[in-house]
Amino acid sequence: MTPPSRDPVWSPPRRRVRVSSVLQMEAVECGAACLAMILGYHGRHEPLETLRYACGVSRDGTSAANVLRAARGFGLVAKGFSVELQALNDFTLPFMVFSGFNHFIVVEGFGRDRVYLNDPAAGRRSVAFEEFDRLFTGIVLTFEPGPEFRPGGHRPSARDGLLRRLDSNRKAFAFIILSSLGLILPGILVPALTRIFVDYYLIQGVKDWLKAIVAGLIFAALLRALLFWLRQHYLLRLQTRLALNGSCAFFWHLLRLPARFFGQRYAGDIAARLSLNDRIAGLIAGDLAIAVVGLVTMVAYAGAMAGYDPVLTGLAVLFALLNLGAFIAVARDLAESAQKQLLNEGRLLGVATQGLQMIESIKAAGAEDLFFSRWAGYLAKAVNTEQELSRVRLKLGSSPTLLAMLGSATILVVGGQRVMTGAITIGTLVAFQSLMTSFTAPLIDLVRLGGQLQEVGADIIRLDDIESHDLDPDFATSVPVSLPQPQPQDIEVTPPSPADKPLSATAISARSPAFSQPEAKVVSRLSGRVQIRNLTFGHVPTDAPLVQGFHLDLEPGRRIALVGPSGSGKSTIGKLIAGLYRPWDGEILFDGLPMSRIPRVMLRNSVALVDQDIVLFTGSVADNIALWDQTMPEDRIVLASRDARIHDEIAVRPDNYAFELTEGGNNFSGGQRQRIELARALAAEPTVLILDEATSALDTTSEKQIIDNVRRRGCSCVIIAHRLSTIRDCDEILVLERGSVVERGTHQDLLAGNGVYRRLVES
């Protein structure tokens, strides 16, 4: 497909609208973010998570047809066009264009020689006509409110997020405000004493008042120091509590999100959001509390100033309003720049983390320069947005200082004239100048807070992107049920049989730091019976399903293999059985009960999945096998390691099961890492084991020994593999094509036919 031909001369009329920016949190959700901008412009504010689902955002993004379909669902009259560049003059703003055949952008309007865009990947920007001409593919999506359109919802704001985080800390916050209000007293007392000192002691020579004035000043200083210490003490306690509670709540919610949430995001970007809680806590317990008090103190100081001279007070209030106007002028730009900067920093960290995780592949391919170029591109974007944000901060920071200096100079000049005319005394002018300083200090704090709120608003949006996401259904409240026959087994760990090779004292010690509590624990498990009825599933609700009409019957202790070409849905079915995905239609039954009715703990104790992605972490071998379960006894870990054929190789390592793995287990070979992951699954003693290419890195002899050991355990197995030796002895083999079963039977039966299975074997 090639872009339509265009007239090189294009002069659209100048017109523009402003659309609130919505930046994409995932690399593939530009269409949903653009639709959020369009809806917001027309008065309908929908969470990005809702629009992701409505637009059918998947690992491959979304299509223009899906965006139009979603927009119509919200009552918009949405149309798509393939047009020449000149035809853009006729469309009502704002509209969406498809840029570079891979990205949606909102067009806000046209200037003398530029096009104004709102890019979900970069925020509001403008490009020259020539550059827009290169980007434009001819695809335009227009949107107008229809008769069924209903405005509603509310725009995400920093205020809502801040108030939500303050709910459980209102008393501490109130105490901080009260202690800060107490600081008003010495703030007013000092100017009053200064006025008396100048007018009566210096000018009139009333020396009897000197001791009282000095005592008053000392009292004011001590009171101010005490109240300031109390305020800072409780501010620190509040900040610590907010940071701790916020981080814990965020991370606990993150751990309970469905697996699909992590499929389209950089791990580094997600991890970087944890630190945002500290920044928000610092703002709430610091500048926010002080600024709230500042509003009250400004009123108090303004009242005191009015008591000295209303004319000078009017001038002070005028400069305060000018400060407020300067802040409003740059507030929107500050919020957008802050959000872009955070987004680009998160992407930069995510790309760097991804590169370090795949460093061996990069070096093997000699692609260091290519990856560096990619990383440098993200770095350039991050640096550019940081400079843009710094320029806006400079505007915001310089205005209060400039206006404060101009205000002081104006007060001095006008006040001096009023002293000469006898309207006020010199002491009054000196006291007013002191109050003026106290009046403008909270104002500067308020302006700075306003800027920080705009930036923290971007932090809160990034946190709410995770905290507002629906939890995995496994964590929904469920009612315990009684399972029908066959009854779940109360399984107690079986120690190694006497026939097994005994462990030497140097191989494993019960006092080893790898094991903390060696008592066996009794847990309830399912029997291992799995039934799947008319299963339908896909990754994108708006697309055709990936798996359709799938049936399976797996009896306890039996083994079923899933085979088929790549992309036929084998791994997806394995993850559905493991509960990582939820089917669109049909049901998965364990012991005759739907998965949704089985308590999560029982399901996770009964079903284990080992896929081809090996995940090991920095820590001891025992921790990697037990997944930090300190109640798991050592004989259970050892037995699982023996069955995974990795025990002997662990035993010769220094400290044995306490031996520390490096990140990703890189101090073990690929086959050893795969066997440690197998041992992790076996240590959980599942009754249903799903092996998705779990032995692909092993030789056939080791693979056969492991499969035999798994069979002796008596657990039901779903095996997904391409290697013939892995599947030939299974009780049943299901052959999949495009998500449907096309053949099923034993190895001999399927090989005797002339179908898909035979062609796979012969290829």
Q: Which domains are seen in the chain, by residue range?
A: 15-145 (3.90.70.10), 158-467 (1.20.1560.10), 524-762 (3.40.50.300)
**Mean pLDDT score, 315-333:** 75
- Weakest-pLDDT range from 132-146, 190-204, 715-729: 190-204
Collect all residues with Cβ–Cβ distance below 8 Å to 363 and sequence separation of at least 6: none
**81-85, 201-205, 206-210: which has the highest mean pLDDT?**
81-85
For residue 624, count other CB atoms closer than 10 A to its CB. Answer: 23
Query: What integer pLDDT is reported at residue 180 of this predicted model?
Result: 67
Rounded to the nearest integer, the mean pLDDT of the chain is: 79
Query: What integer pLDDT is reported at residue 500 of this predicted model?
Result: 39
Query: What integer pLDDT is reported at residue 530 of this predicted model?
Result: 93
Collect all residues with Cβ–Cβ distance below 8 Å to 685 and sequence separation of at least 6: 491, 493, 525, 605, 636, 713
Going by pLDDT thresholds of 50, 70 and 90, the confidence category of residue 678 is: very high
Q: For the purposes of burial, counting CB atoms within 10 Å of the CB of 656, is it exposed (0-12), middle (13-18) or buried (19 or more)?
A: buried
Percent of the chain, pLDDT > 90?
13
Query: What integer pLDDT is reported at residue 529 of this predicted model?
Result: 92
Over its C-alpha atoms, the chain yields an Rg (Å, rounded) of 34
**Mean pLDDT score, 494-523:** 38
- Residue 21 main-chain phi, psi, to 5 deg: -70, 140
Give the Cα separation of 724 and 705 in Å (integer). 15
Show contacts of 240-249: CB within 8 Å, 24+ apart.
240/281, 241/169, 241/172, 242/165, 242/169, 242/277, 242/280, 242/281, 242/284, 242/285, 243/277, 243/278, 243/281, 243/282, 245/168, 246/165, 246/277, 246/280, 246/281, 247/274, 247/277, 247/278, 249/467
Q: Is the pLDDT of residue 679 over 90?
A: yes
Asked if 272 contacts 153 with a C-beta cutoff of 8 angstroms, the reply is: no
Collect all residues with Cβ–Cβ distance below 8 Å to 452 and sequence separation of at least 6: 283, 287
**Mean pLDDT score, 277-296:** 74
Q: For the purposes of burial, counting CB atoms within 10 Å of the CB of 454, is it exposed (0-12), middle (13-18) or buried (19 or more)?
A: buried
What the block records as the tokens of 491 is: 């399984």
Residues paired with 185 in a beta bridge: none
**247-256, 367-376, 712-721: which has the highest mean pLDDT?**
712-721
Show contacts of 325-333: CB within 8 Å, 24+ apart.
326/396, 326/399, 326/400, 326/403, 326/447, 327/396, 327/399, 327/447, 327/450, 327/451, 330/392, 330/395, 330/396, 331/450, 331/451, 331/454, 333/392
Q: What is the pLDDT of residues 405-436, one digit of tens each?
A: 787 788 888 888 888 887 888 777 777 777 77
Q: Which of 537, 550, 558, 561 is nearest to 760 (CA)?
A: 561
Q: Is the pLDDT of residue 33 over 80?
A: yes
Query: What integer pLDDT is reported at residue 511 of this predicted model?
Result: 32
Q: Is the pLDDT of residue 468 over 70?
A: yes
Tell me the residue type at 245.
N
Give the helix/strand (H/E) hosting 114.
strand 114-119
- Residue 116 main-chain phi, psi, to 5 deg: -95, 120
Q: Between residues 623 and 53, which one has the greater pLDDT?
A: 623
Q: Is the pLDDT of residue 174 over 70?
A: yes
Q: Is the pLDDT of residue 304 over 80?
A: no
Q: What is the pLDDT of residues 719-751, one digit of tens each?
A: 998 777 778 888 999 998 888 888 888 888 888
Going by pLDDT thresholds of 50, 70 and 90, the confidence category of residue 450 is: low
For residue 472, count other CB atoms closer than 10 A to its CB. Answer: 18
Q: Between residues 212 and 486, which one has the greater pLDDT?
A: 212
**Mean pLDDT score, 198-211:** 72
- Weakest-pLDDT range from 8-22, 240-254, 287-301, 468-482: 468-482
Query: What integer pLDDT is reported at residue 2 of this predicted model?
Result: 43
**70-79, 172-181, 470-479, 514-523: which has the highest mean pLDDT?**
70-79
**Mean pLDDT score, 578-584:** 88
Give the helix/strand (H/E) hosting 599.
none
Cα-based distances in Å from 487 to 122, 553, 606: 57, 18, 13
- Weakest-pLDDT range from 123-132, 460-469, 482-491: 482-491
Going by pLDDT thresholds of 50, 70 and 90, the confidence category of residue 477 is: very low
Q: Cis (ω within 30 of 0) for the bond into 186?
A: no
The alpha carbon of residue 95 and the mean position of all alpha carbons in its chain are separated, in whole angstroms, by 29
For residue 200, count other CB atoms closer than 10 A to its CB. Answer: 17
Query: What integer pLDDT is reported at residue 737 of this predicted model?
Result: 86
User: Is beta strand 76-82 parallel, antiparallel or unpaired with respect to 15-16?
Assistant: unpaired
Q: What is the pTM of this model?
A: 0.66
Q: Is the pLDDT of residue 9 over 60?
A: no
Q: Is the pLDDT of residue 159 over 90?
A: no
Tokens 């049936």 found at: 551
Q: Is the pLDDT of residue 287 over 80?
A: no
Asked if 172 contacts 234 with a C-beta cutoff of 8 angstroms, the reply is: yes
- Weakest-pLDDT range from 164-173, 247-256, 646-655: 164-173
Asked if 431 contacts 190 with a C-beta cutoff of 8 angstroms, the reply is: no
Going by pLDDT thresholds of 50, 70 and 90, the confidence category of residue 699 is: confident
Cα-based distances in Å from 558 to 315, 719, 733: 88, 11, 12
Q: Between residues 573 and 450, which one has the greater pLDDT?
A: 573
Give the Cα separation of 703 and 416 in Å (integer). 95
Q: Is the pLDDT of residue 531 over 90?
A: yes
